[in-house]
Amino acid sequence: MFNVCYRCGAYRADKTIEPEGGGTAAFAACPECGFRHPFLRLPLFIIGGASGAGKSAACAALARNFGAAVVLESDILWNDFYADPQRYPEYFNTWLRLGKNIAQAGKPAALCGAGLGVPGNIEPCVERRYFSQVHYLALVCEDSALEARLRARPAWRGSGAAEWLKSQLSFNRWYQEQAPQGCPPVELFDTTRTTVEATAAAIAAWITSKLSRA
């Protein structure tokens, strides 16, 4: 956890990033004393999409069979504390901080989560600076498929409630219609007629392609 300076002990996430030689090696300079902490600056991969688009199932399959990145489902850190919208930035920064520390083992993180897939939630975060790039992929599907999947879930999840259905259908359309034109853009993969395994394979190919270019 190198937000704590090894020289002066100050906790500062807003370190100055100093890339070295155009590769993955970089330094995080302490704003208090100037100490330069060496670290690996790797890309981050985010798989987003509305509830029911297929993120959790595909990412679970990906985590079992893909070794080029550490795949994590963002819901594992969610709790009622973050339900206040004013605390959303803290939630996103927590995931980025976890991702940057995972990267120090030499593998990038791939995070799966609905809100994480919105660049406007991630790009302003103070922890964003520790990644060379953030790549966004959203899983989308036809409205009828999304609604059918949500209604098929157990009743205790409340996924078939009218307001929830309305919000997720709207979110799904946002990903389809607006996210690809954003800055940075979000790439899309349609899961309407694909299997979980095929979706996981497509995500793996997407990550592999980005890593090869890097």
Q: What is the pLDDT of residues 169-178, one digit of tens each?
A: 999 999 999 9
Statement to judge: residues 8 and 56 lie in one domain: no
Residues 69 and 174 in one domain: yes
Is the domain of 64 the same as that of 91? yes
**Percentage of the chain modeled with pLDDT above 90:** 94
Yes or no: say if 184 and 118 are a contact pair by the CB < 8 Å rule. Answer: no
- Strands 25-29, 16-19: pairing is antiparallel
- Asked if pLDDT for residue 193 goes beyond 70, the answer is yes
Are 61 and 28 found together in one domain? Answer: no
Q: Are residues 34 and 121 part of one domain?
A: no
| Average pLDDT of span 132-152 | 97
97: nearest Cα among 161, 180, 12: 12
Determine the structural domain holding residue 5 and report its residue range.
1-40
The answer to whether residues 198 and 166 belong to one domain is: yes
Mean pLDDT, rounded, of the chain:
96
Into how many domains does the chain fold?
2
Close Cβ partners of 211 (under 8 Å, ≥ 6 residues apart): 43, 68, 108
Domain shared by 26 and 132, yes or no: no
Q: Read off the CATH number of the domain in which 53 is found.
A: 3.40.50.300
Using CA atoms, how far apart are residues 10 and 29, in angstroms rounded to an integer?
Answer: 12
| Predicted confidence band of residue 1 (pLDDT cuts 50, 70, 90) | low
Q: With 80 as the cut, is the pLDDT of residue 214 above it?
A: no
Considering the domain architecture, whether residues 173 and 204 belong to the same structural domain is answered as yes
Q: Is the domain of 68 the same as that of 5?
A: no
Same structural domain, 81 and 8: no
Over range 190-203, report the average pLDDT: 98
- Tokens at 212, concatenated: 């090869």
